[in-house]
Structure 1
Amino acid sequence: MKIETESKKLTKPSAPTADHLRKLKISLIDQLQPPIYVGVIFFYSSKNDVHDPSFVPISEKFRLLEKALTETLTLFYPLAGRYVEEKCLVECDDHGVEFLEAKADGTLDQLLHGETDPDDVLSHLATQPPQVDKMPPLVVVQITTFTCGGMAVGLCISHRIADVTTISSFMSTWAMACRGSIQKVIHPCFDLSSIFPPRDLPKL
């Protein structure tokens, strides 16, 4: 199965980050994390019945997902920043997360039922940023549509700034924003460095 990227852009928070939040010191725990990206992929089957009240065209899904992402990033503002290794901090200047739209030339069933080799496909559904970038985006979001109308939402995120709990909270908030209920979200806290401040450590 072939995955082709159709568009790529930076998606920024819907509101600017406050000036006093623009420099986020990472914690010692984050400082010790390996510089890797972790990925997660969610699969959604299609609803092809246009008379179904819950039917949403693909183009509208893309618009809704991106709009909800911009709202979610206002709460998870460090994810739209860039990590500065020499200073052990994230510059939260709303640079944005990478947002990709892609198309697969097969069906979701072919992938989920083992008709195609998942090892050849999964890494292309949650793409990592190029390693050559000096300060790459901390998050890459990829929305891939299949010929059956199904969809995969892939998220690749720097382990330096997020763990599994953060990823889960981010995805839950994004889903609530898609449903228009982001106002019910408990605001995340990013002050772990006040408990475990970074240290001047020798490079391993």
Structure 2
Amino acid sequence: MTISLSSYIHTPIPLASSMKLHRVKAITAAMNIEIHSRKLIKPLVSTPLNRRCYKISIIDEFAPNMNLPLVLFFPPNSKYNLMFVKKLEESLEKALTFLYPLAGRYMEHLRTVDCNDQGIDFIQAQADITVQEILDPKIDPMLINNFVPSKSRVLNHTDAILATQITMLKCGGLALGVSISHRIGDASTVINFLNQWATLSQRDTNVETGGIDFTLFSLSPAQGLPCVEAGFSNLVNDDDYVTKKLSFNESAISNMKENVKLTGKRSTHRLSKVQLVSALIWKAFLGIDHAIYGQPRDSVLVQPVALRQKKEKWYP
């Protein structure tokens, strides 16, 4: 029983469950989802006392107090059954032995994680919908929120830092939802966690340590700064926002890169896919803004960077 990250189908999910769709024609599927079990998964081996206190860095301190969600959809497979879910639980226990801060609880007043092995949320569910229906371009994007294990934007000292949800689909496929507190990790943390979990679920082996960096505090310790909300608290209550799913395939991105290259305005040697897609979307936003106001206005685009992966380059 294996689960391979190379076979997943990824779809973006909305920023928050309370956001509403306006002026967008969408198909709202009649989906029922049933929670079969909910439990806490703890590390297989207890965390040593000398690692009980994990202090966050200033990078984590700047992160907004919200959860980062991700959903992976896997095509139908006859191996997705109760024994498969049990195997995932066992491999998750092994992964948390190395990723021990994720199984702890965050102490806001101390800016630290109490690595007490209290565990992460593990939810098993069943949904009467297929992968094909979920990936329909006309489907309501808010439907994806049903596969996210945690939607809370406030991290209390009793809340799990990480939550996972395994949802069996009607077609025999599977949805794997993960939600992590942004105060403790970011997108790179989630990907590294999933890779290590997948490695342990595929075979009975020891996972390599060091996939997630837990040493940033020694290089850039927290400074006791106030929580940065970055406007998210106002965003979720504003009915003027529209949620829409966008999809760019490999050939479309390659064509974009060639078009930029033909203009001769800049070199495409180091132009990433993220830069290309972000520039295209932002150009559309600027065009809409100009059409509304009749003149160009100042604008700002903020692009997050995975600083954890660059730490070794800064401090050889």
Alignment pair present for 1:122 and 2:140: no
Code of the residue aligned with 1:183 in structure 2: it is N
Alignment pair present for 1:134 and 2:156: yes
The answer on whether the counterparts of 1:129 and 1:137 sit within 8 Å (CA) in structure 2 is no
Deviates more, 1:6-15 or 1:108-117: 108-117
Q: How does 1:27-176 map to 2 (within 5 A)?
A: 27-48=57-78, 56-114=79-137, 116-119=139-142, 121-128=143-150, 134-135=156-157, 136-176=159-199
Which portions of structure 1, spanning 4 or more consecutive aligned residues, are displaced by more than 6 angstroms?
Answer: none
Q: CA deviation at 1:185?
A: 1.7
Within the candidate set 205, 225, 247, 1:201 is matched to 225
How many Å separate the matches in 2 of 1:85 and 1:180?
A: 38
The answer on whether the counterparts of 2:53 and 2:112 sit within 8 Å (CA) in structure 1 is yes
Distance 1:28 1:64, change over 3 A: same
Residue in structure 1 matched with residue 213 of structure 2 by the alignment:
189
Distance 1:87 1:102, change over 3 A: same
How many Å separate the matches in 2 of 1:184 and 1:65?
A: 14
Deviates more, 1:121-130 or 1:60-69: 121-130
Within the candidate set 170, 173, 177, 2:200 is matched to 177
SS in 2 for 1:167: helix
**Structure with the larger strand share:** 1
SS in 2 for 1:183: coil
How many Å separate the matches in 2 of 1:203 and 1:45?
A: 40
Matched positions, count: 196
The answer on whether the counterparts of 1:3 and 1:124 sit within 8 Å (CA) in structure 2 is yes
Q: CA deviation at 1:133?
A: 7.2
Distance 1:201 1:111, change over 3 A: closer
- TM-score, normalised by the number of residues in structure 1: 0.88
How many Å separate the matches in 2 of 1:163 and 1:132?
A: 16
Structure having the higher Rg:
2
SS in 2 for 1:149: coil
Alignment pair present for 1:23 and 2:45: no
Distance 1:126 1:28, change over 3 A: same
Which has the bigger relative contact order, CA under 8 A and spacing at least 6? 1
RMSD across aligned positions (CA): 1.9
Give CA-to-partner distance per residue, 1:44-96, whole Å, 9 cap, x none: 11234xxxxxxx25111101111111111111100000100000000000010
Distance 1:75 1:184, change over 3 A: closer
How many Å separate the matches in 2 of 1:162 and 1:4?
A: 29
Code of the residue aligned with 2:105 in structure 1: it is R
How many Å separate the matches in 2 of 1:69 and 1:138?
A: 15
Q: CA deviation at 1:147?
A: 1.2
How many Å separate the matches in 2 of 1:151 and 1:124?
A: 13
Distance 1:203 1:122, change over 3 A: closer
Give CA-to-partner distance per residue, 1:11-43, whole Å, 9 cap, x none: 101110011000011111111211110111111
- TM-score, normalised by the number of residues in structure 2: 0.58
How many Å separate the matches in 2 of 1:141 and 1:175?
A: 13
